[in-house]
Amino acid sequence: MPTEVIIFDKTYKLECAPSDEANLHAAATALETKYREARLAMPRLESERVAGMVALNLSLEFAKLEQQLKALSAERVQEKNQNLQLIHQLTSDVEAAIAAK
């Protein structure tokens, strides 16, 4: 089912899964907000260039967040492995204590 979003005072009908609709509207709102902020900061710049700058800045933000996510995921994997090692060690210790009795 098409979803309507408004970007730069233009309405766009876009196809998206119902589960993505809220995110699509949030993305359109964020884009609009960033564009208006950039427009105020650079009033003499052509609209197309402002849009390009906004796109570049949003891409940079995305890349940074993606990098942070990868780092956090790697930390979680490391923590999981450490926890598994502790579980195995504790299991071995308990089994050894039981066997010693």
Task: Write out pLDDT tens, residues 27-69.
Answer: 999 999 999 999 999 999 998 999 999 999 999 999 999 999 9
For residue 91, give both structure tokens.
Answer: 């299991």
What span, in angstroms and rounded, lies between the C-alpha atoms of 7 and 23? Answer: 14
The answer to whether the beta carbons of residues 35 and 54 sit under 8 Å apart is yes
Query: Strands (DSSP E) along the chain, which ranges?
Result: 2-7, 10-15
Q: What is the pTM of this model?
A: 0.71
The answer to whether the beta carbons of residues 3 and 16 sit under 8 Å apart is yes
What span, in angstroms and rounded, lies between the C-alpha atoms of 54 and 74? Answer: 30
Q: What is the pLDDT of residue 49?
A: 94
Q: What is the pLDDT of residue 7?
A: 86
Report the alpha-carbon angle 65-68-70, nearest 5.
Answer: 110
Q: What is the pLDDT of residue 40?
A: 95
pLDDT band at 15 (very low <50, low <70, confident <90, very high): very high
